Chains A and B, each alone.
Chain A
């Protein structure tokens, strides 16, 4: 429409997803893990939106609807996730994901 290149959008989404994944995998703090998950979800949203704009020959708003659901789902997930996080912190006194195991090294 306004000269948006399909590939550029998708590469941006991919980069965002990679960042989210890297955050989730590398950070030990559970807050950052949740944040990583959020970023990945948003990367998927971006991908959807991008495709709905750039896919040729299909004049559709379907790709715009899915992100709305995903945002609702992400809100719910963040809600439950944070609640669990608080509970875990109460019992474990720590937000370090590696400290949650009782297995012997």
Chain B
């Protein structure tokens, strides 16, 4: 039994193997007329993911509170006192992340078998999905920041590959590149932050989370960090790492890539851009919580960015007509709530919202995918309507997701989002007010989505007439996730005593940091019910307003593309405009590089070099001419030189 934790390496290795095998299948089958065998690669991909889940489950069940399974197959960097191991660490935080990552990934693999069934790149798709899963597992399982960085880059790469999966369309390639480049900007922050952290620790520098955590919990070190350069460096380090988190988790200012990432297949949007990858920023904050709590400024910045993103994205979600874009902005907005929770020191609350959000957002995305699949690729909600009767299962699952994200009683969001709002009120009533406003807007755009898609009359008779319910492989994950959206909240039902297994599980990892920040035990027991009531009321206000505006048979004309127009477009693309400003100097530099450096400097150098070589060639050519006398003369001259050299010794 104890040998089990020696199998940590298998967790990422299994999906990696799946990726390799599927990649080989894809290559081998690409020349044939039918393409690679779809059942085989679908089965292998799902099996790889599923076995990782089972292994993670077995490990999690054997993990005692406060215990950490570690395994370091080899040392990676060994430079004097500075060592980095290629190591894995499995504590309760990792266990929690791994369980929902591998669990939801398995469901989405299963779903993809149905969703991608008519796609020629089937094996390639599963190869990428498995590779993504392997990277994600490395990200949360790595025992040091470098390992996390491998996963961090790996998921970025897979995100790029999967967004641009249908690369025959140029726009998809653009979206993929945008996602990759914006993420690179964040990655730079991650790296610089890591270096800053190392220089803070001086001679004891280490990248191992255990060492970092212990160092920053040491009272002697904390007092050093209170003032002067130490404090400045700490703020810089945490802000830079947070910049990395904003890149991965699509927060202001690096959020523009996520809505564009919807160009990828819908299972990808559900897995990567809603449930798992985008939450890695929150994971990193929680993992380094002991460092972050020492910098009040950074914590305030995180809170501010979080609430601003939550509100901005929620409003942007209102302007979208593309069903997946609505969900994308919704994801950005919900991630904002998670950062609010982390910023006010409730890392477990943030992770709990990560956990519940993974379920209900995956359910919503897969439901949206089922709708898109049913009406043959149409994503514009203005061309949907009245689909509830045609797609009862999809409707039920999306309704469950809708119920959960609104935070209506006993749904998943009811427990996680209301808890964040409650914590926000303890922090500052203003923050709470903004959060509540965000909740109202959330209810508005989600209800709008449901109404436009499922109710009213059908606005595109042709598409609706052929609508068909999802096949079994798609229906099963939908059902599981729909159920999850309604029930996973009970892992931490704040109002019910004893129902906080989620908090207890994370306590050993996050407890010390959160206690360090807690301001003197002023707990608001008993008022939880009030907060829940207010939260529910806010959701109902939003939902009924949306029903008033878009319900019934409201006129919704589909004109042109699904992109928002007018003010909605300006609001939606606000940060794209800002990015364009930032990119401008780079563009100027590249213009200078192209026109001046390239043509004048390098062009001149190359011409000069060419001229010299030609000159030399002409000279040598004269010697090669078949002139007996010249040849003879030159060889004699050489002989004379040689003799002179040996007679006179060195010159």
Contacts and interface: CB of A to CB of B under 8 A. Distances in A.
Interface of A: 21, 24-28, 97-98, 100-101, 103, 105
A25 B629 contact: yes
Nearest to A96: B628
A98 B636 contact: no
6 residue pairs, one from A and one from B, having the closest CB atoms = A101-B626, A97-B628, A103-B626, A25-B633, A25-B629, A98-B627
Nearest to B621: A105
Interface centre among B627, B628, B632, B633 (most CB of A within 10 A): B628
B626 A98 contact: yes
Interface in B629-643: 629, 632-633, 636
Contacts, number: 22
B101 to A, nearest CB: 72
B555 interface: no
Given A24-B632, A26-B629, A105-B625, 11 more contacts: A21-B636, A25-B629, A25-B632, A27-B629, A97-B629, A98-B626, A98-B628, A98-B629, A100-B626, A100-B628, A103-B626
A38 to B, nearest CB: 16
What is the size category of the interface that chain B forms with chain A? under 10
A88 B629 CA distance: 17
Interface string B66-101: 000000000000000000000000000000000000
A24 B635 CA distance: 13
A24 B630 CA distance: 11
A105 B629 CA distance: 16
22 contacts: A21-B636, A24-B629, A24-B632, A25-B629, A25-B632, A25-B633, A25-B636, A26-B629, A27-B629, A28-B629, A97-B628, A97-B629, A98-B626, A98-B627, A98-B628, A98-B629, A100-B626, A100-B628, A101-B626, A103-B625, A103-B626, A105-B625
Contacts of B636: 21, 25
A101 B627 CA distance: 8
Interface string B599-634: 000000000000000000000000001111100110
A24 B629 CA distance: 8
Contacts of A100: 626, 628
Contacts of B632: 24-25
Contacts of A24: 629, 632
B157 to A, nearest CB: 56
B264 to A, nearest CB: 62
Contacts of B629: 24-28, 97-98
A105 B625 CA distance: 6
A105 B632 CA distance: 18
A100 to B, nearest CB: 7
Nearest to A28: B629
Contacts of A103: 625-626
A59 B626 CA distance: 49
Nearest to B630: A25
A49 to B, nearest CB: 23
Nearest to B632: A25
A25 B626 CA distance: 14
Contacts of B628: 97-98, 100
A92 to B, nearest CB: 13
A75 to B, nearest CB: 23
B623 to A, nearest CB: 13
Interface centre among B626, B632, B633, B636 (most CB of A within 10 A): B626
A21 B640 CA distance: 13
A97 B626 CA distance: 9
Contacts of A27: 629
A14 to B, nearest CB: 13
A28 B630 CA distance: 11
A105 B636 CA distance: 23
A35 B629 CA distance: 14
Nearest to A103: B626
Interface centre among A24, A26, A100 (most CB of B within 10 A): A24
